[in-house]
């Protein structure tokens, strides 16, 4: 009888320990600015460590504008000082980040950016980060291609899935060869092919019709836009991909 009690007690202790371990793993997986074991194994890398702006510089400047700060594990733009971008250049990649914008706010994630123009958006396409509920670009009904998740001024999102200002959104960006996908909160909202007839026609009808390098760079920096509005970002991570055939 005593032996049986010890066996039962041992099983209960083992089950409890296993449950605690599982809970710890789940908590670790959801912790901002970290990589899971699976992500590390797959080759994902953090672009923001939650503590510093290491790996980032200003656009055409080695210094980070003072308006960009790390506050409680969040990369925060509060004030106006200019864009920041990755020191490294990236060609084909999958990028994930969380963001939340101030009421009426506007910002952008610009990719494959060259440092040859006056502004990053003259070479790099922009994934729009916006408060759809209150920003004039969205509320004025501008064909949708200025809304959150859009490929700014070129492709409208296929659906509106942005969360309200002050809530975290999850962006996923896939750039592989000439193929690009914009995902927002688990939904694919834009898909395009750089250089295609559709792309060329849309760019010709956009703000970028005279921008010679726009959407033509095979690699470049990843830029976070300062549009004068407060934005907060975290869990910025990247997986470099093999070049598309």
Residues 87-132: tens digit of each pLDDT: 999 999 999 999 999 999 999 999 999 999 999 999 999 999 999 9
pLDDT of residue 142: 65
If asked whether residues 169 and 89 sit together in one domain, one would say yes
If asked whether residues 16 and 108 sit together in one domain, one would say no
The two tokens of residue 51 are 């503590």
Q: Tokens 């914008």 belong to which residue?
A: 101
pLDDT tens-place string over residues 184-219:
999 999 999 999 999 999 999 999 999 999 999 999
pLDDT of residue 3: 45
If asked whether residues 124 and 230 sit together in one domain, one would say yes
The range of the structural domain enclosing residue 13 comes to 1-30
pLDDT of residue 203: 98
Region 226-245: mean pLDDT is 89
If asked whether residues 8 and 67 sit together in one domain, one would say no
If asked whether residues 22 and 110 sit together in one domain, one would say no
**CB-based contacts of 219, cutoff 8 Å, min separation 6:** 89, 90, 91, 112
pLDDT of residue 140: 65
If asked whether residues 134 and 42 sit together in one domain, one would say yes
Pair type for strands 84-86 and 74-77: unpaired
Domain count across the chain: 2
pLDDT of residue 243: 60
The two tokens of residue 244 are 């598309």
If asked whether residues 55 and 41 sit together in one domain, one would say yes
Residue 203: name the closest of 157, 120, 145 by CA.
Answer: 145
pLDDT of residue 172: 98
Collapsed DSSP state (helix, strand, coil) of residue 71: strand
**Residue 103 maps to a domain:** yes
If asked whether residues 40 and 6 sit together in one domain, one would say no
Instruction: Name the pTM for this structure.
Output: 0.86
Confidence of residue 141 (pLDDT cuts 50, 70, 90): low
pLDDT of residue 138: 77
If asked whether residues 117 and 194 sit together in one domain, one would say yes
How far is residue 75's CA from residue 49's CA, in Å, rounded to a whole number? 10
If asked whether residues 51 and 167 sit together in one domain, one would say yes
Residue 48: name the closest of 95, 10, 117, 92 by CA.
Answer: 95
If asked whether residues 11 and 101 sit together in one domain, one would say no
């Amino acid at each position: 009888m005593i032996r049986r009690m010890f066996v039962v007690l041992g099983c209960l202790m083992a089950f409890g320990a296993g449950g605690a371990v599982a809970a710890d793993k789940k908590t670790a997986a959801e912790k901002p600015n970290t990589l899971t074991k699976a992500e590390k194994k797959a080759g994902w890398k953090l672009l923001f460590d939650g503590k510093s702006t290491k790996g980032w510089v200003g656009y055409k400047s080695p210094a980070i504008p003072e308006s960009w700060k790390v506050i409680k594990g969040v990369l925060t733009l509060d004030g106006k000082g200019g864009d920041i971008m990755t020191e490294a250049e990236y060609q084909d990649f999958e990028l994930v980040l969380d963001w939340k914008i101030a009421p009426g706010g506007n910002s952008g994630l610009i990719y494959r950016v060259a440092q040859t123009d006056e502004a990053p958006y003259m070479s790099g396409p922009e994934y729009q980060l916006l408060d759809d509920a209150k920003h004039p670009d969205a509320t004025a009904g501008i064909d949708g291609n200025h809304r959150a998740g859009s490929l700014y001024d070129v492709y409208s999102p296929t659906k509106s899935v942005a969360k309200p200002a002050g809530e975290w959104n999850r962006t996923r960006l896939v750039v592989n060869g000439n193929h690009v996908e914009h995902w927002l909160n688990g939904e694919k909202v834009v898909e395009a092919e750089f250089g295609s007839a559709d792309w060329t026609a849309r760019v010709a009808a956009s703000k970028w019709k005279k921008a010679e390098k726009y959407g033509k760079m095979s690699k470049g920096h990843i830029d976070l836009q300062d549009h004068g509005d407060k934005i907060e970002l975290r869990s910025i991570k990247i997986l470099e991909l093999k070049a598309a055939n």
